[in-house]
Amino acid sequence: MKPCNRIVALLFLVSTFYNCNKDNPENESLSKSPPSFPQSQEFDLNSDQNIDFKVTYGYFTWDGINTSGDGISGQLIPVNQNMILSNSSSLPLFLQYNDTIKADVLTPLYWRNYQTEIVTISTTADYFWPKYWSARSPQKRDSYYLGVKVINNNAKLIGWLKFQVDTTNGSFSISDKSFTDKNFIVAGK
């Protein structure tokens, strides 16, 4: 190949590499700056003028065997004696439409009265931030369900929350809920 042709070929390869890299959506979705996150929220689910749950956001650092990074998480926090249904063998947002929520549960299910991580975003191995947040669910869905116990004038109600997570900013919004003083309730009904 003539020297002139080699230069043209080299310029073509460099140009192609630059254009592919520039137009790569993966590169556009990463940032060195951490994303902003929503304001904390408080929820009075049973309209008794008392806050039942809060959602707060904060930074964290994780350190693994071969990698580490930074992240931001959104936590649902029960206030007072209220509780969240958890599953020791699953991510926090495991409930699905039509699942039965019981007042008394058996392992691996249990009721907990401390924070539950519902949404996160964390850096890649080279400390870039992705564009999208992730709901803490074993499956990606449009809506998620949580089982909750709420104290209402010294009576315990069980119920469910249906909510959405906005993966562009990590916000949490409740779209439906239901409670009962019975021993069980079905999510979404």
Domain range for 80? 34-186
Q: Specify whether 138 is located in the same domain as 126.
A: yes
Q: Which of 5-14, 37-46, 78-87, 167-176 has the lowest mean pLDDT?
A: 5-14
pLDDT tens digits, one per residue of 156-170: 999 999 999 999 999
Domain count for the chain: 2
Reported as a pLDDT band with limits 50, 70 and 90, residue 1 is low
Question: Do 16 and 58 reside in the same domain of the chain?
Answer: no
Quick one: 106 and 147 in the same domain?
Answer: yes
On whether both 44 and 90 belong to a single domain, the answer is: yes
Query: 99 by DSSP, 3-state: which?
Result: coil
Q: Are residues 38 and 21 in the same domain?
A: no
**Domain identity same for 180 and 88:** yes
16 and 102 inside one domain? no
pLDDT in tens, 89-137: 999 999 999 999 999 999 999 999 999 999 999 998 788 999 999 999 9
Q: pLDDT for 26-73, tens place per residue? A: 556 788 899 999 999 999 998 888 999 999 999 999 888 888 889 999
Question: Within this chain, do residues 43 and 66 fall inside the same structural domain, yes or no?
Answer: yes
* pTM for this predicted structure: 0.80
Pair (56, 129) in one structural domain: yes
Do 116 and 175 have their domain in common?
Answer: yes
**Environment class of 24 (CB within 10 Å of its CB; exposed 0-12, middle 13-18, buried 19+):** exposed
Please give the torsion angle defined by the CA atoms of residues 40, 189, 151 and 41, in that order, rounded to the nearest 10 degrees.
10
Q: CB under 8 Å, gap of 24 or more: what pairs does 65-72 form? A: 67/125, 69/122, 69/123, 69/124, 69/125, 69/127, 70/34, 70/122, 70/123, 70/127, 71/120, 71/121, 71/122, 71/123, 72/34, 72/35, 72/37, 72/120, 72/121, 72/122, 72/170
116 and 39 in one domain?
yes
Q: What is the mean pLDDT of residues 143-148?
A: 97
